[in-house]
Amino acid sequence: MTPPRRALASRILATLIAGAVVACTPAQAENVVKLPAATLDPAVNAKRATAVLAGGCFWGVEGVFSNVKGVISVESGYHGGSAATARYELTHDGKSGHAEAVRIVYDPSQVSYGSLLRILFSVIADPTLKNRQGPDSGTQYRAAIVPMDAVQRQVATAYLAQISRGKYFARPVVVPVESYKRFYRAEANHQDFMRRNPSNGYIVRWDAPKLAALKRLFPAMVRAAPAP
């Protein structure tokens, strides 16, 4: 099969398997760990800031972060490759350099950059997995931190070291800190996918449990209604 068909077939298969799993057992978020707050997390004197993060399939990453208090907006997209390959069907051969990522605009007075990283690795992405998350494998599904400035890079580097030293995971933390290139917004049908498709088998099995874990572990950080 061509790469686009192979990617589609893989996602359909994951959805079908998810439906079977949900029918037999309650869906659970994998590797949920309530990590500590970042010890290095300086205040940012600005009304808005931007974070670019990757944590596997962007449907769930966007779906969770849109429910975090202080988040103004979240959009799914691609980071790491070129404009020529910044399309869904061209990222699934693992050669584009892109990761499925999200761009988060947030209010630093309500939620810090360190808090976003804490949520990412507590309930969204397993930082010990390389080039895969959940049922998805390939470089496009890697977890990654993409700092937008020197301060974010310092916080990211320090937090990865902090959670590595804390031995919260059975395996080593392998998340890369990548240099920002350009964020490419994903196709319209991928935006706000989790909210628009709550009964989708993939969402039910892999992503809804992550949102449930956010609400359970960090209730004070949850918005009353999702951000756009």
Residue numbers annotated as active site: 57
CA distance linking residue 78 with residue 98, whole number of Å: 6
Q: How many Å apart are CA 65 and CA 40, to the nearest integer?
A: 21
Q: Which amino acid is at 203?
A: I
**Any idea what DSSP says for residue 222?**
B
Residues 199/92, Cβ–Cβ less than 8 Å: no
- Closest of 60, 56, 154, 78 to residue 114, by C-alpha: 154
Contact between 112 and 48 (Cβ < 8 Å): no
Dist. CA 196–CA 26, nearest whole Å? 22
CA separation for the pair 213, 30 (Å, rounded): 10
